[in-house]
Structure 1
Amino acid sequence: MSATRTLHLAAEIGGPPRYDAASYVALARLAEHGALDFVTLRDSFERPGPDALAVLARVAPATERVGLVPTVTTTHTEPFHLAEAVATLDWVSHGRAGWLVDVSTTTAQARLFGRRPAAPASALWREAGEVADVAARLWDSREDGAGNRNTTLSTGRFIDRDTLHHVDFRGATFAVRGPSTVPRPPQGHPVTVVDIVTGRTPELTETAARYADVVLIRAGRAEEAAALRGRLRARAAETGRDPGTLRVLAALTLDCHDGELPREPGRVYGRHTAAGAAGAHYRGGPVDLADLITRWHGDEAVDGFHLTPVEPHRDLERLVNGTVAVLQHRGLFRTFHPGGTLREHLGLARPANRYTTAGGAS
């Protein structure tokens, strides 16, 4: 494996609904102890339990380094409020926020809001791309350092209007003028994560290629993962992006219940199978998982892994104290977070403000 390629690891801390902050804090701290890039907390309008973004806002002051990435559904949600909420999470976490983009396709979820009927996934993922676009514009609509301050005593003005920029964005289903009421986030743009599920619409892949910083993919074999990573990076380049700014992580459901299997001739260790839309599953012990991660990353099939524990406390503990420890011992994974922000963990630069770069005019 190339010494210059950084291995990225992340984990889900959801599971059965829990209504106490302590359990989420404990899992996030465990991931932080293992120097994982970030944790996700999945959510939907049909899922019982507390709001993922609000939960991670509570986790933020109880952690110091690990990135915090809640699911944020763009359907039925006002883009302006979404961008403000994610920017706020970036502020309260001191630059560790991201958001896992999702859409809501069911009639039952549409009825919760009563504002519009359910729509096809293709249309909703096009809309999600527009939301990701306007969110980035809103985060840029206040220049770095712009805020409520008395800039000129003679005018009595409490804000420097030259540092604010109207977005004036009109999408297929919404329009946003801006500017944001929240100052520009510490990361410039919080990290955008998109989960690619096999068999979903081309619009989902297009949104990921254009707007995602991190893409989660589902693949049963390293060759499949490498091919999908290659297609994503190629499409990102076609949209004008630097494909080197796209991190592609293989999504695995993790079950370490059985531990390491006995070494017997002819036995396949660390069973890893594709499971359709549910994603790929790994069942085995921490050392075999470390071998799998080493092999896939060394072959440049992926940039890292996002692991979803079957049993959050048990499997995350075995991931951190077992697999991660093995990878660290082999010199393949860091022993501490080298920076303070999620972008720094991922090796991504802080984006320049588009309005400042363009000379100020919106």
Structure 2
Amino acid sequence: MSKPRLFLGIETAGTGTHPASWRRPDSGAEDLFTADYWITVVSQAEKLGFDAVFLPDSFGLQSGGAAVTRGRLDAVAIAARTAPLTRRIGLIPQVPVTHTEPFHVSKAVTALDFASLGRAGWEVTVSADPSQAKAFGRKASQSVESLWHEADEAVEVVTRLWDSWEDDAEIRDVPTGRFIDRDRLHYIDFVGDNFSVKGPSITPRSPQGQPIVTIRADDTESTDVAIRRADIIRITAADLPAAAQRRVALRTALAAAGRDPDAVRVLLDLPVHLADWAEEARSQVRQLDRWADLPAEHSLRHVGTVAALDELLAEISRSRVADGVVLRPLALRATLYALANRPTTTPTATTLRERLGLPRPTSRYATTGAVL
């Protein structure tokens, strides 16, 4: 298994992660709900050398009322729209599982992996807000423990469905008229507390075999699921030493769970705002905070120049603080513009797994499992 360079992702949350970012004249907020906005953002991220774009999503409106950006497009739909117009960047939409059937998640992310020729991922999220449960009207809101237990089962179902077609299940034998080899199509026969799924998937095994599973380790419950299920674990930290300690703790927990720590990538979330001069960047953030009346930020972030950001990324790589970084721009277009003249390299890896230095898994049913 190869050791990749520092993996660099970017989270494209609307006009930016700062709730007042839409008020900047360069925000592009007037185009936020158009395809052109997202095509431009993702294409620019690819040109800037980012390894992956993370696309947030939720079944609820953003909190904060009329003063903040409210409303969003479907993250999988955005990724699918941009897939054929990009060539290298990984596409990792959030897909909440609380009110979504895992069969649908499996099919949607597999289709994205086909559309992107092996660049798809899936960030697992849950829907904790009671208003989201009311929006669906199918079940009551759940505790955090219940939400993540359900998510744990959902990931198991999705990954089993991804494996239910072996790589060579499509034989397309014209003389015999056999399109598939039924011996290479498998029932998954999953029965849990939340789902009972026979399978198999209706979609063949995708280019990566299994698209990349991402989970943010925000609390004990999500961390436990991430240790069991994730290929990428996203973390936040107050400073670099705290991030390094978190990575060590996660790797220890992965080994204790019987997983290879080198087969999982720990990515550090880094809120950023960039300008030509550090004081200019700080002044712009103060203006954003005044618009939104936000409290002081206590997590690690970078507000300053591109050169200083590069120094910070080099330190993270050198010190093994994390396996990669996910930039979370406070103002998205401003950050993309500031990075426009930053030197970049074009990675040779074509799939997201290859960029992460992770092998393509074989189907768990290749030698065992009920066939059709």
Q: TM-score, normalised by structure 1?
A: 0.86
CA distance in 2, matches of 1:182, 1:98: 16
Q: Are residues 4 and 343 of structure 1, via their aligned partners in 2, closer, same or farther at CA, if it must alter by over 3 Å? A: closer
1:320 Cα deviation after fit: 5.1
1:159 Cα deviation after fit: 3.2
Matches within 5 A, 1:53-202: 53-147=76-170, 149=172, 153=176, 158-197=179-218, 200=219, 202=220
Matches within 5 A, 1:226-245: 226-245=244-263
User: SS of the residue aligned with 1:354?
Assistant: coil
Q: Are residues 147 and 114 of structure 1, via their aligned partners in 2, closer, same or farther at CA, if it must alter by over 3 Å? A: farther
Matches within 5 A, 1:31-70: 31-47=45-61, 48-70=71-93
User: SS of the residue aligned with 2:104?
Assistant: helix
User: SS of the residue aligned with 2:258?
Assistant: coil
Identity of aligned residues (%): 41
Specify the alignment match of 2:323 in structure 1.
303
User: SS of the residue aligned with 2:201?
Assistant: coil
Specify the alignment match of 1:332 in structure 2.
none
CA distance in 1, matches of 2:252, 2:175: 49
Q: Are residues 181 and 219 of structure 1, via their aligned partners in 2, closer, same or farther at CA, if it must alter by over 3 Å? A: same
Specify the alignment match of 2:334 in structure 1.
314
CA distance in 2, matches of 1:49, 1:69: 16
User: SS of the residue aligned with 1:317?
Assistant: helix
Unpaired runs of 5+ residues, structure 1, are 263-273, 329-334
Determine whether 1:28 maps to 2:42. yes
The alignment of Structure 1 onto Structure 2 pairs a total of residues equal to: 332
Q: Out of 277, 296, 306, which is 1:286 matched to?
A: 306
Give 1:292's aligned amino acid. L
CA distance in 2, matches of 1:160, 1:151: 13
1:150 Cα deviation after fit: 5.1
User: SS of the residue aligned with 2:234?
Assistant: strand
Q: Are residues 303 and 161 of structure 1, via their aligned partners in 2, closer, same or farther at CA, if it must alter by over 3 Å? A: same
Give 1:345's aligned amino acid. R
Q: Are residues 5 and 188 of structure 1, via their aligned partners in 2, closer, same or farther at CA, if it must alter by over 3 Å? A: closer
Specify the alignment match of 1:19 in structure 2.
33
User: SS of the residue aligned with 1:321?
Assistant: coil
Specify the alignment match of 2:355 in structure 1.
345
CA distance in 1, matches of 2:369, 2:195: 24
Specify the alignment match of 1:271 in structure 2.
none
Unpaired runs of 5+ residues, structure 2, are 16-28, 62-70, 281-295
1:35 Cα deviation after fit: 2.1
CA distance in 2, matches of 1:180, 1:258: 51
Higher relative contact order (CA 8 A, sep 6+): 2
CA distance in 2, matches of 1:87, 1:211: 17
Specify the alignment match of 2:291 in structure 1.
none
Verify the 8 A CA contact 1:9 1:38 in the aligned structure 2.
yes
1:157 Cα deviation after fit: 5.2
1:296 Cα deviation after fit: 1.9
CA distance in 2, matches of 1:151, 1:165: 23
Give 1:282's aligned amino acid. H
Q: TM-score, normalised by structure 2?
A: 0.84
Specify the alignment match of 2:287 in structure 1.
none
Verify the 8 A CA contact 2:216 2:223 in the aligned structure 1.
no
Verify the 8 A CA contact 1:193 1:212 in the aligned structure 2.
yes
Verify the 8 A CA contact 2:276 2:338 in the aligned structure 1.
no
Verify the 8 A CA contact 1:237 1:243 in the aligned structure 2.
yes
